[in-house]
Chains A and B, each alone.
Chain A
Amino acid sequence: MNVLKVSRWTIAAFILPCLIVYVGLVFVPILVSLYSGMLDWNGIGKSTFVGFHNYVKMFTHDSVFWPSVRRTFTLAGFSMLVQVPIALFVAVLITRFVRRPNFLVSSYFLPVILSVAIIGQLWKTIYNPASMGGMINGILTSLGLESWTHSWLTEPKIAIYSIILVSLWQYLGYHILIQFTGIQNIPSEIYEAAKIDGADGFKADRYITLPMVLPILKISIVLSFIGSLQSFDLIMVMTGGGPAHATEVLASHMYNMSFITMKYGYGSAIANVLIAMCLIATVLINALFNRLDKRYS
């Protein structure tokens, strides 16, 4: 029961500054975007109202849209099905084998706190041709595997995977940290009780750690999915969506349409689809995990 009875003015003084900034810069732009998504507008001249034409065009006539949606989901898939399971495995191993885990966990975490601008440039340098001092091609050449060398970021078929690798590399530590913390919070009495019943080692992990860590796993999955939907800063830094749209994801398509091609109306429409996808994905993943949760408990 809240005890403080205060006048309306006091409430307003406390809540309004925050609420105005927040609503003004998060919700108002979305309303603007919903409207400008129905315009044919280059941002400077006159705009024409075209209704849902932008959306129809996006779904049926845009040769970049569906491939970039597919790439967005590829990125999300790699993150959820490769990165998160590896992170869980590492977290379980650390919990079992390491007495003072802080050093390991915080070292793995280090790439997470660096700006994508730095990480992107660093990996661009790493992916450089051997003749420009690139690390990967250099190693391959010195191992005599010259046929394996590639120009990792300019070959259309490989470029997106090169970027996905960087993204997996950078955020692996984040998921390790999240899941490690989750496992630490499982009360040790449960393991002791299970041991008396004969469940030990990986059996204990299967029947105790996994179900108990589900809520944390959900957080990791939501983060990696939403992160993938949004992630394009890395792509903008490393390739800008090129070569020939080969690394375009939904968000970069939106960016290039809006700020390079100057199709403000069309860009807004893509942005709205992106926002809608984020909301739907969050709701769906939550629902899925609620069902999983019920089945396990």
Chain B
Amino acid sequence: MSQFASSAGSKPALKVRGRRVSFKTVIAFVFFGILLVTQLYPLLWLLIYSLKTNEEILSGSFFALPAQWQWSNYQGAVEGGNYFRYLGNSLFVTITTMAGVILLSSLAAFAITRFRWKYGQLVMLLFLLGMMIPMQGTLLPLMIIFKNLHILDTHLALILPYMAFQMPIAVFILSGFLRSIPHEIEESAIMDGAGAFRIFRSVILPVSIPPMMTVCILTFINVWNEYILAATFISSEKLKTLPFGVYSFVSQYSVNYGAIGAFLVLAALPVIVVYFLLAEKITKGMVAGAVKG
């Protein structure tokens, strides 16, 4: 911020709340404000939209607040759209995937980084290669394989590929962390005669909570929002996850605009609540997930 102080001193300045603020700063903040509006206003607009009657929406006075807040739109969305069923399915699929990814990838990362064996690097390379492979490319063959295994239209058909495609980044993050902790911490456990499983459980697991959180967050965001696989592999109404449920609801209630808005708000709500609680952790996790290339 030293640059800020010097530029404020040399340029013509105006005062905001007793602080000297340079002209450049004002321009920058106007720009930030505009960007904030473009990024957030559509979401706010949706919220207002969801509380209007059909007539209010169709009249085109989109800046106006609803004359009376139509909570009945929400009632309609919940009752007509199986909201809680979709929510339950999304929770089940996401949590199962998270648990599976954490358990299997931490075991693998432990083996890759801590065991004395020849093929550790090779296995790691295999996982790194997988990061470049797009999930869409495997959509059709997976469909054929699942059809033959008779697990199409079950939650397993979602959980398995979700797990598999989260594993490379999970192994990458976890083994990166495990490499950074010194070997001394398990040496004393070896002296005590602990086996590999005990070392993993009572030495490695407890210290690996932070990277596991990162993996959890990445898995949550990716799996919770996934649409294409869910729409391709699931056809039973009672098995649909939330993103697919949104699509079904919209095509079913295509003229009940208020209810569609309400359903969209409800569908976005869980992630937004989680984001409010864990914003910093989520942004850090997503950056960690991005820094893989």
Report B82-108 CB contacts with A as 1/0, cut-off 8 Å. 000000000000000000100011011
- B residues 24-75 with Cβ under 8 Å of A? 24-25, 28-29, 31-32, 35-36, 38-40, 42-43, 45-46, 49, 57-60, 62
A38 adjacent to chain B (CB < 8 Å): no
Report how far A282 CA is from B268 CA in the complex, Å: 32
A105 adjacent to chain B (CB < 8 Å): yes
* Chain B residue nearest to A96 in the complex (CB): B3
Report how far A202 CA is from B84 CA in the complex, Å: 52
Q: How large is the interface on A (under 10, 10 to 19, 20 to 34, 35 or more residues)?
A: 35 or more
A-chain residues with CB within 8 Å of residue B58 when the two chains form the complex: 131-133
Asked, given contacts A3-B183, A26-B138, A36-B140, whether A108 binds B35 with beta carbons under 8 Å apart, the answer is: yes
* Chain A residue nearest to B288 in the complex (CB): A181
Tell which of A15, A23, A25, A104 touches B36, judged by Cβ atoms closer than 8 Å.
A104
Report how far A36 CA is from B282 CA in the complex, Å: 40
B contact residues, total (Cβ < 8 Å): 109
Report how far A247 CA is from B45 CA in the complex, Å: 26
B-chain residues with CB within 8 Å of residue A29 when the two chains form the complex: 138, 141-142, 145
* Chain A residue nearest to B24 in the complex (CB): A97
Report how far A113 CA is from B221 CA in the complex, Å: 6
Tell which of A11, A26, A258 touches B139, judged by Cβ atoms closer than 8 Å.
A258
A40 adjacent to chain B (CB < 8 Å): no
**How close is A202's CB to chain B, nearest CB, in angstroms?**
10
B-chain residues with CB within 8 Å of residue A237 when the two chains form the complex: 227, 247
Q: Main SS of the interface on chain A?
A: helix
- B residues 119-159 with Cβ under 8 Å of A? 120, 123, 126-127, 130, 132-145
**How close is B111's CB to chain A, nearest CB, in angstroms?**
4
* Chain A residue nearest to B267 in the complex (CB): A118
A33 adjacent to chain B (CB < 8 Å): yes
Residues of chain B touching chain A, judged by Cβ–Cβ distance below 8 Å, are 1-4, 6-7, 24-25, 28-29, 31-32, 35-36, 38-40, 42-43, 45-46, 49, 57-60, 62, 100, 104-105, 107-108, 110-117, 120, 123, 126-127, 130, 132-145, 160-161, 163-165, 167-168, 171, 183, 186-187, 190, 195-197, 199-200, 221, 224-228, 231-232, 242-244, 246-247, 250, 257, 260-261, 264, 267-268, 271-272, 275, 279-280, 282-283, 286-287, 290-293
Residues of chain A touching chain B, judged by Cβ–Cβ distance below 8 Å, are 1-6, 10-11, 13-15, 17-19, 21-30, 32-33, 36, 43, 90, 93-94, 96-99, 102, 104-118, 121-123, 125-126, 130-133, 135, 138-139, 141-142, 169, 172-174, 177-178, 181, 191-192, 195, 200-201, 204, 216, 218-220, 222-223, 226, 229-230, 232-233, 236-237, 251, 254-255, 258-259, 264, 267-268, 271-272, 274-275, 278-279, 282, 286
